[in-house]
Structure 1
Amino acid sequence: MNPSFQCILLLACITITICNSIPMTRCRCPNPKQIPKAINRTLIADVIQYKPRPYCNRYEVIVTLKNKTKTCLDPKSKFTIALLQAKERMEANRKKHSMKITAATPTSGATSSYSTKKRH
């Protein structure tokens, strides 16, 4: 085989490999003009927020509904802002509560001694 042909073939294989290994991603909310401003809160199972990324320059908020469908929300709407603030408060309370439980549980040995003092 001709060395120049081998070089071209090698470059083609490398290019195909690189192009197939890099995931081509894009924004998760395809049409920002059709995004609802609010959804019934009782239908929401989870809320995820995505900050701008190299392949998507938009701030996106996606809710997963109880029927497993995903819907984008307008990140600038009052409803979405309140929803994200409520999620942050819940996570902070959950974290605070789990820290209290962790601190109260014994960490060593199978036996533990209990104090007869009153706890406040």
Structure 2
Amino acid sequence: MAVRYVVRKRKVGFGTQKVEKYVAQNFITNNMNFKELCEEITKIGMVPSGAVKFVLDALIDTLNLNLRKGISIQLGDFGQFRPGLSSECQETEKETTVEHPIRLHKIST
């Protein structure tokens, strides 16, 4: 299966040094919700849908719990989940505090 992508123009750089460059981004063809995922796993794995939902709910809860602790989780070929954050740049180390917006996010690689 070939990787599908689109080319987008982005501004990169810092401060007044921003320039426009082109990057490839993955192309999403559709969305699947949690219920649809459980139904598909049930068809392929021949496991009752209630059991699939229970295990996936437990997996999500466990991932969230451990990500909040700062733990990186490797799920085989599925990928690695690790906590991440982004914040606004500051001029000095002393200025970089929790007073400035810090956004937490989960990353899968």
State the TM bucket, normalised to the shorter chain. Answer: under 0.3
Q: Whose Rg is larger?
A: 1
Q: Which has the higher contact order (CA 8 A, sep 6+)?
A: 1
Q: Which has the higher strand share?
A: 2
TM-score by length of 2: 0.27
